[in-house]
């Protein structure tokens, strides 16, 4: 018995010596260095818990002469750990990779110690019949502490360092911090298109001194994949490894995470959880992490804005100066490493092509770094001749990053189609929502076209594939009032749309987008074998140098034709008359002044044409001799010169356009008199004459529009009154006279509009007298949208309504904004 106890006694001494060395090493390093102080502190706390337990174990081995293998294994582990800690303490601060390597080693030591107490010590305890764990601290308390140490795992959830050259993110960092630290913000979504620097920004935030001072070691960073696995994410947060028991379910994983977070909260430790690169459709995943805990915040980075969550910060592309500096750094122009130094104008053109996207600037810059003058010139020449930045010989990372934003679910493919259609409009130009309504209603046969289009645009906006700019806030019926709303698309995203459209041969493409510079007609257009076009959407954009000299084309299946131009005179292409399947024609002049539009007569050969939209063109001839358009349902004239022929049309359009249901006239400054012939289009249901400041009166013949349902006269500032005959419009449902500054009274018998459901009258400054008593007879009136002063007029009659029902009076403050000036994504 004596011969065995001596080795055990020696073993106990060796154990105590190694334990002391490890403890002293950790304590010494904590005092001398602050590098990874949190893991060393946790190791010290773990050893503090272990000390009394190990002493009892060694004493019991001595007394009972039990096997010593387990104690030897622990001694070996602690000897290795002591050496690791000493090596770790001698590392200079700048050796990031080596420090990370030893940090992993320290984590392995922590895991070894935890494993000893979870497996070997309980087994030893059972053999001895002792309740050592319960007598010291309690096994539950130890497991909580060990789990807590895992929760602070440096290797699995530390915020990574940002190693790239960073410029232009200082202001966004301060703005992001300010919003994140607001008391009411528990979850903040940082959103932007791919390649804009979202992950870099949150890495900067995770290492910001102010943020670290608030959250200390409780900042957890977890990348989230396109197909996130909740259990894996929580396993990382809890520091669990393969040897840890698996979660029984997602709910079990969530419960364990919440329990661990609750431990920190009870210790008054603020928590910041960063979920990086969260993809569309992951709202339910985010909600699982949204525990109602004090001092607990979640920061999400995503290409999707997630409107379900209240707080969003949108990261914008770099401004011109910062973009220039980042590009010059990436191209090696600042340190002289480039063998060729291009002139400033060349650099500006290349930087502009990158659109302020940090990823694009880095990729393009690196692809030109150290290259010859010929390479620089060739790259710029390709871009100048219509080649996209995505088509040139640069690294494919940029294209892959952007393309990944177009991965839609099967039931969302229409969003991808709509996104690619946005490439039909010129770069750096506003895309009218009204034009998209005309386009998409015909291409995709949308029911309730305006509502569906607006819904799709909001979703595209949410995914940061375009910006939807709403210029007025007093709308109630979505899609009825969007004449001034528009979409902005970043040039790089437009190039992505065009690139995606061009992956098939010309004759097989669903949409064909053609940009013509000068008179340089594309080569494929000149080739006879490619004349036949099977695209449903054809878009042709020309610049101010184009001479309107068209080559022949056979667009047999085109349903939507978009023509964009900048010249003073423009003729419809001769091949238009062959488009017998054409349903929508959108002609837009992006020049400064209205341009004369020729070949209008060609429209008479289009039997299926249903929608026409003209912008900034002079079209008196269309009313002088209207082409027969039996299926035309809608015509929109925006900033057009319509001329005297519009007032004095000699041919009855009611016969030529017998199915016309909607007329939109907006910003047509030469409209002085309301044309009487318009009043005899019995099929008309919607009439919108807005921002026509010279229009002063409406004719008494307006009473003939018996089928009219919507009458919009918004911002006709010189219109003095509504004629009494307007009360004959028995089917009128919506009346808008907002910002008609000269109207001082409503028609005396307005109560005869039995089907009137909604009135807009915000900004009718001269309308101050009491409303006509007949307004009490508007039995179906449900909503009045107005300002405070006009609201008082309606409140005065509210009590006297015959049926006792109340009208919803929606008060809209004067919406003074500069949204309409926006011209950048």
- The DSSP result for 146-180, as a single string, is HHHHHHT-HHHHPPPPP-S---S-HHHHHHHHHHH
Dihedral Cα 455, 190, 187, 172, nearest 10 deg: -130
* pLDDT confidence of residue 7: 46
Mean pLDDT of the chain: 81
The per-residue pLDDT for 334 is 78
* C-alpha span between 272 and 665 (Å, rounded): 54
What letter would DSSP give residue 746?
Answer: -
pLDDT at 690 over 90: yes
* Cβ neighbours around 627 below 10 Å, total: 17
Residue 644 placed within a domain:
no
Pairing of strands 537-542, 560-565: parallel
User: Tokens 């074998």 belong to which residue?
Assistant: 529
> What mean pLDDT comes out for the span 73-79?
71
DSSP summary character for residue 730? T
Picking from 314, 349, 369, the residue at the C-terminal end of a domain is 314
Better-predicted residue by pLDDT, 310 or 118:
310
pLDDT at 101: 55
Please write the tens of the pLDDT for every residue from 330-345.
988 877 666 678 888 8
CB 230 within 8 A of CB 254: yes
pLDDT in tens, 137-174: 433 443 444 444 444 444 468 888 877 789 999 999 99
CATH of the domain at 481: 1.10.10
* Residue 144 shares a structural domain with residue 7: yes
Calculate the CA 72 to chain-centre distance: 59
Most confident by average pLDDT, 116-130, 207-221, 525-539: 207-221
How far apart CA 174 and CA 169 sit, in angstroms, is 9
Same structural domain, 225 and 183: yes
Asked if residues 757 and 477 have their Cβ atoms less than 8 Å apart, the reply is no
Q: Give me the sheet containing 617-618, strands edge to edge.
A: 569-571, 595-598, 617-618
DSSP-based three-state secondary structure for 68: coil
At residue 245, φ and ψ (nearest 5 deg) are -60, 140
Q: Say which residue, 144 or 800, is predicted with more confidence.
A: 800
Is 525 in contact with 554 (CB distance < 8 Å)?
A: no
300 assigned to some structural domain: yes
Say if 48 falls within a structural domain. Answer: yes
93 with 179, same domain: the answer is no
Tokens of 540: 């042709």
Q: How far is residue 300 from each of residues 170, 188, 197, 199, 566, measured CA to CA in Å? A: 19, 6, 13, 10, 43
Q: How many Å apart are CA 235 and CA 597, to the nearest integer?
A: 66
Of 492, 514, 535, the residue that ends a domain is: 492
- What does the pLDDT look like over 377-401, one tens digit per residue? 888 888 777 677 887 656 577 888 8
Same domain, residue pair 218 and 325: no
101 and 8 belong to one structural domain = yes
Within 10 A of 382 (CB to CB), how many other CB atoms are there?
15
- State residue 447's pLDDT score: 65
Distance, in Å, from the CA atom of 128 to the CA atom of 71, rounded to the nearest integer, reads 14
CA distance 619 to 643: 8
- Say whether pLDDT at 120 is over 60: no
Taking only the tens place, the pLDDT of each residue in 648-670 is: 665 677 778 889 999 999 999 88
Same domain, 118 and 6: yes
Collapsing DSSP states into helix, strand and coil, what is residue 413? helix
Model confidence at 546: pLDDT above 70: yes
| 632 within a domain of the structure (yes/no) | no
Residue position matching structure tokens 């770069």: 427
Q: Tell whether 74 and 116 lie within a shared domain.
A: yes
Q: What angle do CA 795, 796, 801 make, to 5 degrees?
A: 85
Nearest to 434 by CA among 604, 180, 667: 667
The pLDDT of 273-295, averaged and rounded, is 91
- Determine contact, residues 158/280, Cβ cutoff 8 Å: no
Work out the pLDDT band at 261, boundaries 50, 70, 90: confident
Q: 558 and 536 in contact (C-beta within 8 Å)?
A: yes
Listed residues 467, 492, 517: the one ending a domain: 492
Q: What percent of the chain has pLDDT over 70?
A: 76
- Bridge-based pairing of strands 584-589 and 560-565 is parallel
- Could you tell me the residue range of the domain that residue 40 belongs to? 2-151
Residue 326 within a domain: yes
pTM metric for this prediction: 0.77
pLDDT score for 243: 43
pLDDT computed for residue 105 by the predictor = 66
Whether 286 and 335 share a structural domain? no
138 and 55 within one domain: yes
pLDDT in tens, 206-220: 999 999 999 988 899
Which strands, in side-by-side order, build the sheet including 271-278?
Answer: 219-223, 271-278, 296-302, 187-191, 311-314
How do strand 511-516 and strand 537-542 relate by DSSP bridges? parallel
Q: Which two tokens stand for residue 731?
A: 């089917």
Cα dihedral across residues 83, 86, 91, 97: positive or negative: positive
So what's the pLDDT on residue 139? 37
Question: What pLDDT does residue 167 have?
Answer: 92
Asked if 337 contacts 328 with a C-beta cutoff of 8 angstroms, the reply is no
Residue 275 covered by a domain: yes
Structural domains of the chain, count? 4
Q: Which two tokens stand for residue 746?
A: 């409503």
Backbone angles phi, psi at 591, to 5 degrees: -80, 180
From start to end of 566-695, where are the E strands? 569-571, 584-589, 595-598, 611-615, 617-618, 634-638, 662-666, 686-690
> Residue 472: how many CB atoms within 10 A of its CB?
19
Q: What is the CA radius of gyration of the chain?
A: 36
Instruction: Assess whether pLDDT exceeds 70 at residue 473.
Output: no
- Alpha-carbon distance of 211 to 566, in angstroms, equals 52
Residue of 277, 330, 335, 331 whose CA lies nearest to 301:
277
pLDDT at 747: 95
157-166, 304-313, 415-424 — which is least confidently predicted? 157-166
How far out from the chain centre does Cα 719 lie? 41
Report whether pLDDT(824) > 70. no
pLDDT band at 646 (very low <50, low <70, confident <90, very high): confident
- CATH code of the domain containing 349: 1.10.8
Identify whether 72 is part of a domain: yes
Which CATH number does the domain housing residue 284 bear? 3.40.50.300
349 and 217 part of one domain: no
Kindly indicate the confidence band of residue 58, based on its pLDDT and cuts at 50, 70 and 90. low
Residues 139 and 9 in one domain: yes
Tell me the per-residue pLDDT of 558-576, one tens digit each, with 9 for 90 and over.
999 999 999 988 999 999 9
Residues 12 and 77 both lie in one domain = yes
For the four alpha carbons of 687, 690, 693 and 696, in that order, the dihedral sign comes to positive
Is there a domain that residue 279 lies in? Answer: yes
- How many residues would you count in the chain? 825
By three-state DSSP, how is residue 278 classified?
A: strand
Q: What is the pLDDT of residue 427?
A: 87
Q: Rounded to an integer, what distance in angstroms lies between the CA atom of residue 104 and that of residue 153? A: 10
Closest Cα partner for 489 from 470, 466, 458, 462?
466
């Amino acid at each position: 018995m004596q011969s065995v106890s001596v080795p055990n006694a020696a073993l106990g001494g060796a154990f105590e010596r190694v334990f002391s060395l490890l403890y002293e090493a950790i304590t010494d390093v904590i005092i001398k260095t602050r590098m990874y102080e949190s893991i060393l502190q946790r190791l010290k706390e773990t050893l503090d818990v272990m000390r009394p337990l190990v002493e009892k174990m060694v004493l019991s081995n001595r007394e009972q002469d039990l096997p010593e293998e387990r104690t030897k294994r622990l001694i070996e582990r602690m000897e290795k750990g002591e050496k690791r800690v000493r090596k770790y303490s001698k590392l200079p601060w700048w050796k990031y990779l080596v420090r990370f390597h030893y940090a992993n080693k320290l984590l392995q030591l922590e895991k070894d110690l935890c494993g000893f107490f979870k497996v070997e010590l309980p087994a030893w305890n059972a053999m001895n019949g002792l309740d050592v764990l319960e007598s010291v601290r309690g096994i539950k308390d130890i497991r909580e502490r060990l789990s807590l140490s895992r929760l602070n795992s440096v290797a699995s959830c530390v915020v990574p360092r940002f190693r790239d050259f960073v410029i232009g993110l200082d202001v966004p960092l301060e703005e992001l911090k300010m919003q994140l630290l607001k008391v009411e913000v528990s979850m903040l979504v940082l959103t932007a298109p791919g390649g804009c620097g979202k992950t870099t920004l949150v890495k900067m935030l995770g290492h910001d001194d102010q943020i670290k001072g608030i959250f200390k070691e409780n900042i957890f960073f977890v990348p989230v994949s396109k197909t996130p696995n909740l259990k894996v994410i929580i396993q990382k947060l809890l520091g669990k490894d393969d040897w840890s028991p698996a979660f029984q379910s997602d709910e079990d994983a969530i419960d364990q995470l919440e329990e661990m977070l609750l431990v920190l909260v009870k210790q008054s430790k603020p928590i910041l959880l960063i979920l990086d690169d969260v993809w569309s459709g992951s709202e339910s995943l985010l909600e699982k992490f949204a525990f109602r805990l004090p001092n607990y915040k979640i920061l999400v980075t995503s290409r999707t804005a997630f409107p379900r969550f209240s707080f969003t910060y949108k990261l914008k592309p770099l401004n011109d100066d910062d973009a220039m500096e980042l590009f010059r750094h990436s191209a090696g122009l600042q340190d002289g490493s480039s063998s060729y130094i291009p002139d400033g104008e060349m650099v500006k053109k290349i930087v502009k092509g990158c659109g302020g996207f940090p990823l694009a600037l880095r990729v393009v810059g690196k692809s030109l770094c150290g290259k010859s003058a010929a390479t620089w010139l060739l790259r710029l020449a390709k871009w100048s001749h219509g080649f996209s930045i995505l088509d040139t010989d640069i690294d494919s990372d940029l294209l892959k990053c952007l393309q990944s934003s177009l991965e839609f679910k099967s039931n969302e493919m229409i969003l991808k189609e709509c996104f690619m259609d946005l490439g039909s409009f010129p770069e750096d130009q506003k895309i009218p929502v009204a034009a998209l309504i005309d386009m998409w209603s015909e291409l995709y046969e949308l029911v309730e076209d305006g509502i569906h289009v607006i819904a799709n645009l909001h979703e595209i906006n949410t995914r940061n594939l375009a910006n939807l700019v709403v210029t007025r806030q007093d709308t109630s019926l979505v899609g009825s009032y969007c004449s001034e709303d528009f979409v902005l698309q970043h040039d790089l995203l437009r190039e992505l749309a065009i690139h995606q459209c061009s992956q098939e041969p010309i004759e097989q493409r669903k949409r064909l987008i053609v940009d013509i510079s000068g008179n340089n007609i594309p080569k494929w257009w000149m080739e006879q074998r490619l004349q036949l076009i099977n695209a449903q959407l054809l878009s042709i954009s020309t610049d101010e140098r184009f001479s309107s000299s068209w080559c022949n084309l056979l667009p047999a299946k085109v349903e939507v034709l978009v023509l964009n131009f900048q010249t003073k005179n423009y003729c419809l292409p001769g091949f238009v008359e062959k488009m017998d399947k054409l349903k929508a024609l959108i002609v837009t002049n992006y020049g400064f002044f209205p341009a004369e539009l020729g070949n209008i007569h060609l429209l008479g050969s289009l039997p299926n044409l249903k929608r026409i939209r003209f912008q900034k063109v002079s079209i008196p001839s269309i009313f002088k001799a209207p082409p027969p358009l039996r299926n035309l349902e809608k015509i929109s004239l925006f900033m057009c010169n319509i001329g005297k022929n519009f007032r004095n049309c000699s041919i009855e359009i009611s016969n030529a356009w017998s199915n016309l249901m909607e007329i939109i006239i907006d910003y047509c400054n030469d409209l002085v008199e309301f044309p009487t012939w318009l009043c005899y289009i019995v099929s008309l249901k919607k009439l919108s004459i807005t921002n026509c400041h010279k229009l002063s009166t409406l004719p008494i013949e307006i009473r003939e529009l018996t089928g009219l349902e919507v009458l919009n006269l918004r911002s006709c500032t010189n219109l003095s009154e509504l004629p009494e005959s307007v009360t004959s419009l028995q089917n009128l449902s919506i009346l808008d006279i907002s910002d008609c500054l000269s109207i001082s009274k409503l028609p005396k018998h307005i109560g005869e509009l039995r089907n009137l459901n909604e009135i807009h009258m915000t900004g009718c400054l001269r309308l101050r007298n009491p409303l006509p008593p007949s307004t009490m007879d508007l039995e179906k009136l449900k909503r009045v949208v107005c300002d405070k002063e006009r609201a008082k007029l309606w409140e005065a009659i509210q009590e006297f309504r015959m049926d006792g029902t109340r009208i919803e009076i929606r008060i809209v403050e004067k919406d003074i904004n500069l949204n309409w000036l926006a011209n950048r994504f």
